[in-house]
Amino acid sequence: MILYNFLTRRKERFKPIKPGRAGLYTCGPTVYDYVHIGNLRTYIFEDVLRRALELNKYKVKQVTNITDIDDKIIRKSEDEKTDYKKIGSRYSKLFFEDLKKLNIKKAEVYPRATKYIGEMLKLITKLDKKGYAYKGEDGSVYFRISRFKDYGRLSELDKREIKSGARTSSDEYQKEDAQDFVLWKARKPKEPFWPSPYGEGRPGWHIECSAMSIENLGEYFDIHAGGIDLVFPHHENEIAQSEGATGRKFVNYFLEGEHLLVDGQKMSKSLRNIYRLSDLEERGIDPLAFRYLALGTHYRAKLNFTWESLEAAVNALHNLRTSLLRMSAEIALGENKKRSSAADKKEAGRILKMFKEAIDDDLGTPAALSLAWKTINDTGLNSKEKIKLITEFDKVLGLGLGETTKKYGKMPVKVKQLVMEREKSRVHKQFIQADSLRKKIEQLGYTVEDTGRGPLVVRKI
């Protein structure tokens, strides 16, 4: 399995630390608002990564944090005059609902930052002992970037660029150097706080991820994934904190998913183009059509979201489902009595191998999707073999295609009876009656097509 490692800017063969296992940390949401479709694109890419590892028989342990204490959460709770915990539980619930609608598999652990304050303080103390941390005049604790030689390795920013970048951001805390970042924020009036050896306060955002990943995956683990906007400073700071504290390598592979654009532009409040999954649902769009759209662009390329492209994805997914239902109907008509020949099996094996090669080449979902279409339209395989293949593909694509046949594949007794009656009428050349029976069948949501083998009855979806 080949992955593009952002640490080395190269495609590399994935070598697990422990044979047969893969430790995966994926940065989760800060639960102060709905996640938008840009975030969801990242979660879909990470889900494909997880499924691809499973396809390669790795036992995956995925950890996705929930940041439930942060400036934005506190601000929202002040605006709404509610407890910050209520804000957190409201938006984390909505986050999980979105994941479910997009067929995103559950991570093994969803640690919440507020449950790991002790672990964060342990890390800060370690950093302090090694000279990586200091207390500022305002009582907050900062990470001393000048002490960490490798700083900027992931983002490939040199110190000068980092400095000028840091200077533009408003610094409300007292630091030795403008580029240093906060590990522990001194308590401020009306804000939630915890006791610590450095005085009462709350953790900085970056230390949360270091503590939760180390606690759940160990000091050294396989893969860390996130959106490209997190490379600097978040992932850069995670590396500095974790490697500073443990004195060893933190993660082998960093995978960063590219941005989603809307009509060619970055999503922003001023452009009013920040969409959520619910905005799609309000237009009657199946969330899985968004997943289909996301799979159509490689995760390292920018995805330009437009309503037209989404509409095309809606149609494509619909056609894919209909093709599957049609094939099941063909099987019901007796196609399955035709046994798969050795040549069929060999061909199916070859296609499955091609699918795996596409996925193993740094998660090539666009190639995998087009292979699914090719399998349906351009192979001489019988319906049974085709369905088997598509079902295998869907273990990685996650489009819920297996559900389609389960949900709609069984024909109701009433429809079956009408089809049989219509056949009788046809045999007796009572075509007017046969036609009116066809209409009845159509009203029940099925189409009938007369073939050499008999009537092909397909559910309309």
List interacting residues with Zn ion (CB under 5 A). 27, 209
Smallest distance from the beta carbon of 55 to Zn ion, in angstroms?
A: 26
- Cis bond upstream, residue 192 (ω within 30): no
Q: Which among 136, 47, 447, 98 is positioned nearest to 279, based on CA atoms?
A: 98
Smallest distance from the beta carbon of 283 to Zn ion, in angstroms?
A: 32
**Which CB atom, from 43 or from 408, has the smaller least distance to Zn ion?**
43
Positive or negative: CA dihedral 370, 381, 335, 420: positive
**Which CB atom, from 133 or from 209, has the smaller least distance to Zn ion?**
209
**Which CB atom, from 152 or from 226, has the smaller least distance to Zn ion?**
226
Distance CA 461, CA 454 (A): 22
Contact 7, 154 (CB under 8 A): yes
Distance CA 365, CA 281 (A): 24
Smallest distance from the beta carbon of 87 to Zn ion, in angstroms?
A: 19
**Which CB atom, from 252 or from 405, has the smaller least distance to Zn ion?**
252
The DSSP code for 342 is H
Q: Which among 229, 311, 310 is positioned nearest to 267, based on CA atoms?
A: 229
Smallest distance from the beta carbon of 209 to Zn ion, in angstroms?
A: 3
Residue spans of beta strands (DSSP E) within 276-372: 303-305
Smallest distance from the beta carbon of 92 to Zn ion, in angstroms?
A: 15
SS3 283: coil
Q: In the structure encoding, which two tokens stand for residue 227, read together?
A: 């959106």
Contact 27, 279 (CB under 8 A): no
DSSP line for 390-454 = HHHHHHHH---HHHHHHHH-SPPHHHHHHHHHHHHHHHTT-HHHHHHHHHHHHHTTEEEEEETTE
**Which CB atom, from 27 or from 399, has the smaller least distance to Zn ion?**
27
**Which CB atom, from 27 or from 35, has the smaller least distance to Zn ion?**
27
Smallest distance from the beta carbon of 206 to Zn ion, in angstroms?
A: 7
Smallest distance from the beta carbon of 295 to Zn ion, in angstroms?
A: 24
**Which CB atom, from 27 or from 107, has the smaller least distance to Zn ion?**
27
Q: In the structure encoding, which two tokens stand for residue 60, read together?
A: 């995956």
**Which CB atom, from 209 or from 381, has the smaller least distance to Zn ion?**
209
Smallest distance from the beta carbon of 69 to Zn ion, in angstroms?
A: 14
**Which CB atom, from 27 or from 211, has the smaller least distance to Zn ion?**
27
DSSP line for 68-124 = -SSHHHHHHHHHHTS-HHHHHHHHHHHHHHHHHHTTPPPPSB--BGGG-HHHHHHHH
Distance CA 232, CA 161 (A): 12
Smallest distance from the beta carbon of 250 to Zn ion, in angstroms?
A: 12
Q: Is 333 left (phi over 0), alpha (psi -120 to 50) or beta?
A: alpha
Contact 365, 298 (CB under 8 A): yes
Distance CA 2, CA 12 (A): 5
